Structure 1
Amino acid sequence: MTDRTRLPATDRARPTSQLGNLDLNLLVTLRALFRERNVTRAARRLGVTQPAVSAALSRLRRHFGDELLVRVQGAYVLTPLATQVSGQVETVCAAAERLFATGSAFEPAASRREFTLLMADYPATVLGPVLSRLFADEAPHASLHLQLVRETLGRDVVETISLVDGMVSPPLGHFRTPGVTSRPLFEDRWVCLVSEGHPLAAAESFGVADLAGQPWVVPYHRDDGYPSAAPATRQLSALGIRPHIAVRVESYRAVPDFVAGTRRVALVPDRLVAALPGTHGLLTLDCPVPLDPLAEHLWWDSGRDEDPAHCWLRDLVARAAAGLGP
């Protein structure tokens, strides 16, 4: 008797997802190739033979329809497509490692897990040295992947947080979303940064009107409306200043370089100036009116609240922040 409910063979064999047709081990090889930009070194990192990595690279090239790695003047460089997807490869591999490392117990001293934190270069500069020492002491075999924010965080920040172990950032309105948890880390005060010899440096006092007429260096200012979500320009907006932005940079650490030797002025976190070498010829001045402090928080996906590895990492970051002092 014929079973009329049985699916045709072609339908039974059809995968329910494109993942069914993919060898996910290729992702690990692709990450190693992007990191090493060399087949031999990638094979050594993976613990496999060079022909195996060469064969995987050939499959990857066919899949993407792109060379991915090309030789230029004796060295391999990433193609534009490889550059575009390299960050996604890191994120996907890190997410997969977190998924399969999830368990009821976690031993930092024995773990070989890679943790990913996302932050701008300001908290990385201030928090990094203490965090690095604690991480090395407590998890000597684990690794830390620090992703630097290169532009103002957009509205997809919740999805971004879900793909990393944590993010250090000041609170923004669109962060307050179900599914995201945070804890405060440290605060900093804003100071005005100018070159020695700037008229404001010689003035006995100055006010908001004096600041308003200056050319500004501003980090992370998005040029698609005003006020910007960037912390420095939000403070300027609170002062009623819509600055003439002479230099816009995607970095806090670059701000002093574009202030030095000029008539420009900037608002910068006080801890950053103290942590940076090479600020000779620059002065910090107190703002003419009090500004809201810059409050850095640690943000993470609420689904990881009880994960032992994430609990350890969050505690580690908090202890590093506490080590900064007032």
Structure 2
Amino acid sequence: MTDHLLLSRLDLNLLVSLDALLTERSVTRAAERLHLSQPALSASLARLRVHFGDQILARRGNTYELTPFAIRLTEHTTTALEAARRVFESQATWTPTQSTREFSVYGSDYGFATVGKVVAQLAAERAEGVRFRFLLHNPLVVDDAANRLRAVDGMIIPHGFLADLPYQDLWTDEWVALVAEDNATVGDTLTMEDLGRLPFVTNYASRTAFTSVSRQIQQLGIEPHVDVVVESFLSMPHFITGTDRIGLIQSAMLPTALRIGGIRAVSLPFAATPLVNALWWHPVHSQDPEHAWMRDLFAEAGRIVDEGLHAD
């Protein structure tokens, strides 16, 4: 039997029921969420059990738990439901000023506090019904980007992490170091000795998750002593103030970081490789006029960040 025939025999409303059951882990709460009667949702659960050959929800004492198979379904169900929503929200003709579309974009707080902020400002001026949902990525999301980007509109991330996907370059950035304002052992420029001597607060310190500048320090023969690992560039200054730690941050984030107080910027003792930040998306979105409008918005916002005007 072909895939098309199999799909034609399915009631796609079951996807909505499945998502609610997987999220709520309770027939009663899932029924309340969907404004259905409990018998109606129990009937949907029975059909899902027959289809998958799995209990989906299994009783454990007085509660229900997801089966191992259901846990594996959770992520796929959310992605499929989001993709279906996008299909039926699409319009043959689209006018930004009349749209209520929500664009979902993955990124780090660095991307959101720079280009994301400008994109939201531009959209508010030109299409007040459009909104953006900015989702923090993590190493698992980045590793699975080719699949994840089917269900969202894009990912803001520098070159060097993704490949074989369409992208739009946004802006180029440099790395600077942060130290405590009262750190008298460091001058206006770090030395190679400082890098080997002082502890670091760093981001994403693992084999598959790293910043390009931290990797470059290792390639120069220095293994940094990492004192603190955070997954937020915005929080980094709080772990530097009043300590002898070093932090590495992008120039576009510097005005925001310095407003926290208690820190100062110093130069690196080597020429760090610049960051080329880009918006990446899945090819399925390339011909979507709404998506093209969003990409143009990001390109304009990238030029504003490149000129340093985002911090005004």
Q: 1:256 aligns with which of 231, 237, 260?
A: 237
- 1:291 aligned residue: 272
Which of 132, 135, 139 pairs up with 1:144?
Answer: 132
Question: Which shifted more, 240-249 or 23-32?
Answer: 23-32
Instruction: Between 20-29 and 133-142, report the one with greater CA deviation.
Output: 20-29
Per-residue deviation, residues 95-150 of structure 1 (Å, max 9, x unmatched): 22334455653222233333221111210122232222223343433443322112
Secondary structure (helix, strand or coil) at the match of 1:323 reads: helix
Superposition CA RMSD, Å: 4.0
Mapped contact 1:97–1:113 kept (Cα < 8 A): no
**164, 169, 174: which one aligns with 1:189:** 174
Give the unaligned 5+ runs of structure 2: 59-64
> Aligned partners of 1:85 and 1:136: how far apart in 2?
37
> Which amino acid is 2:86 matched to?
R
- Aligned residue for 1:144, secondary structure, equals strand
1:41-89 deviation digits (Å, cap 9, x = unpaired): 844xxxx567699668866996774669xxxxxxxxx989888766544
Partner amino acid, structure 2, of 1:247 = V
Quote how far apart the aligned CAs of 1:173 are.
5.9
1:109 aligned counterpart, secondary structure: helix
Look up the SS of the partner of 2:278 in the other structure. strand
Amino acid at match of 2:157: S
* Deviation by residue 1:291-317 (Cα, 9 ceiling, x = unmatched): 222221111223433321111110111
Which among 271, 282, 286 is matched to residue 301 of structure 1?
282
Q: CA 1:54–1:216 in structure 2 vs 1: closer, same or farther (change >3 Å)?
A: same
- For the Cα contact (< 8 Å) 2:191–2:269, is it kept in 1? yes
**How many residues are paired up?**
298
Q: Report how far residue 171 of structure 1 moved.
A: 0.6
Aligned-residue sequence identity (percent) comes to 29
Shift of 1:251: 2.5
Q: 1:6-55, CA deviations, whole angstroms, 9 ceiling, x for partnerless residues?
A: xxxxxx8x987775665433444566788899769844xxxx56769966
Residue aligning to 1:170: 158
Give unpaired runs (5+ residues) of structure 1: 1-11, 69-77
TM-score (normalised: structure 1): 0.72
1:267 aligns to what SS in structure 2?
A: strand
Moved more, 244-253 or 263-272: 244-253
In the other structure, the counterpart of 2:199 is 215
Alignment correspondent of 1:245: 226
Moved more, 128-137 or 95-104: 95-104
Secondary structure at the aligned position of 2:232 is classed as coil
Do the aligned partners of 1:104 and 1:308 also contact (CA within 8 Å) in 2? Answer: no
* 1:73-112 → structure 2 map (5 Å cutoff): 88-101=76-89, 105-112=93-100
Distance in 1 (CA, whole Å) between partners of 2:198 and 2:132 is 41
Residues in 2 aligned to 1:163 and 1:295: alpha-carbon distance in whole angstroms: 25
- Residue of structure 2 in register with 1:323 after alignment: 304
Closer, same or farther: CA 28–109 of 1 in aligned 2, 3 Å? farther
TM-score calculated relative to the size of structure 2 = 0.75
In the alignment, the residues of structure 1 paired with residue 130 and residue 23 of structure 2 have an alpha-carbon distance, to the nearest angstrom, of 17
Q: Distance in 2 between matches of 1:170 and 1:39?
A: 40
1:274 aligns with 2:259: no
Which range moves more in the overlay, 243-252 or 87-96?
A: 87-96
Match of 2:62 in 1: none
Aligned equivalents of 1:320 and 1:53: distance in 2? Answer: 48
**Partner Cα distance (1:92, 1:256) in 2:** 39
- How far apart are the structure 1 equivalents of 2:269 and 2:171? 23
| CA shift in 2, pair 1:123/1:50, >3 Å | farther
Distance 1:60 1:260 in 2: 58
Whether the 8 Å contact between 2:142 and 2:161 is mirrored in structure 1 is no
Are 1:152 and 1:220, in contact at CA under 8 Å, matched by a contact in 2?
no
Mapping of residues 15-26 of structure 1, within 5 Å: 19=7, 22-26=10-14
